[in-house]
Amino acid sequence: MYYSAVLVTAKKGELAAAVASVEAKGLEVFQKDEATGRFIAVIEGDTIGSEADSFRGLIGLPGVETVSLVVNQEDTEASGS
């Protein structure tokens, strides 16, 4: 299993819309900062490719200005590696 934390910046005044859009994709949202319009979301994927697809799927969602990768990690215990 692969996990990534991404920093999402909402368009000005559209934090709620950005959060709702990201949550609708099945991601968990953490650490919302109303003052900056940014939040952290976690992507999970069985493969690095599926995780990358999820990342790309965030770009252009309603309310989303930018998406930046913060960290990526493989859970070797879950994958048996």
**pLDDT at residue 62 tops 80:** yes
CA-closest candidate to residue 7, choices 45, 32, 54, 40: 40
The closest of 71, 12, 73 to 40, measured between CA atoms, is: 71
pLDDT for res 21: 98
CATH architecture of 2-79: 2-Layer Sandwich (3.30)
**pLDDT attached to residue 77:** 79
Query: Which pLDDT band, with edges at 50, 70 and 90, does 78 fall under?
Result: low
What sections of 10-75 are H helices per DSSP? Answer: 15-24, 48-58
Q: Average per-residue pLDDT in the chain? A: 93
Give the mean pLDDT of 46-62.
94
User: Which stretches of the chain are DSSP H helices?
Assistant: 15-24, 48-58, 76-79
